[in-house]
Amino acid sequence: MKKTKLYVLVLASAAALAAGCRNKDVEALNNLEKDRFLVRTEKAQTRSLEDYILLTGSIKALDEATLYPRTSGKLLKNLLHEGDPVKKDQPVALLERDEVGVVYEPAPVPSTLTGVVGRTYLDTGANVTPQTPVALVVNQSKVRVALDVPEKYTGQVFLGQRATIKVDAFPDRTFSGKVYKISPVVDPSSRNAAIEVLVDNADGRLKSGMFAEARLIVASRGNALSVPTAALVSEDGKDYVFEPMADGLARKVPVRVGIRTDNYSQVSGIKEGQEIVSFGLYGLQDGSKIKVQN
């Protein structure tokens, strides 16, 4: 019973606090002159900005090989299993040829590359032919991220371009890679061009078949003077910010915009540390009366 009363008391206190905050906002609005805007401000600061294209795709091993037997017969034994390392030409399985009246040595199924066994497809005793897949071998020391780039962005993609990769299995980690393959054609049905990003995978965290989110960096600035993108106002093809003045009026200041991201945009035409209006811009004009709310 005491816990219930305490819980109710906490809820009541939280509700009262929230109501108090709302009441302060309402009171501030009610106390404003009818032609005065209630705004918030923020200082222009230098930040590291990156403009990027956001794409999704799938991860593939750097090299993959499906292994097939050279003859028909029955699977005698899987010599290696999923996750086992394998070298080129090393046997991964043995076959027993089933020609009547003839005895053969077991026929090996050799790996065609160095890597690890990704899958074995058959159990002992299974019938096989030269068209039957026996195992999959992958080299995942590096992985490829296969992506489709919409036609309108193809002019911003180039070999060696930096990219960051995220996967659902490791939501708090990013992996760095570079574009290393670009298709010279655009698919006429999807209007996309296929590209691949190469990523180091020495620790083996990235697996072939994983879904991936990729950000292709198209521009970056390490020390860019910037303001919130929401603080920018565009009129007649030109960009502006509003500066709060000591006399309680807003002054419209023209700026030139460089890198523009969802949160911040690079600007020139103002100084670092200069206060600009970041909230309450709707209807604001040059010379409008404002009240800055902390």
Strand partners, 138: 64, 116
Tell me the average pLDDT across 156-169: 94
Residue-by-residue DSSP string for 213-230: EEEEEEEEEEEEEEEEGG
Residue 2 has pLDDT above 50, yes or no: no
| Look-up of token digits 């920018």 | 232
**Stated pTM of the model:** 0.65
CATH domain 69-133 topology? OB fold (Dihydrolipoamide Acetyltransferase, E2P) (2.40.50)
* Residue 91, number of CB atoms within 10 A of its CB: 17
Give 233-282 pLDDT, tens digit per residue: 998 889 999 999 988 999 999 999 998 888 899 999 999 999 999 998 89
> In the chain, what percentage of residues exceed pLDDT 90?
67
CA distances from 49 to 165, 194, 229 (A): 17, 27, 12
Torsion of CA 240, 246, 247, 252, to 10 degrees: -10
pLDDT at 133: 96
What are the boundaries of each domain within the chain?
1-31, 52-60+140-220, 69-133
Residue-wise pLDDT for 63-77, tens only, equals 999 999 998 999 999
Q: What does the alpha-carbon distance between residue 153 and residue 157 come to, in Å, rounded to a whole number?
A: 7
Q: What is the pLDDT of residues 107-118, one digit of tens each?
A: 999 999 999 999
Fold of 52-60+140-220: Elongation Factor Tu (Ef-tu); domain 3 (2.40.30)
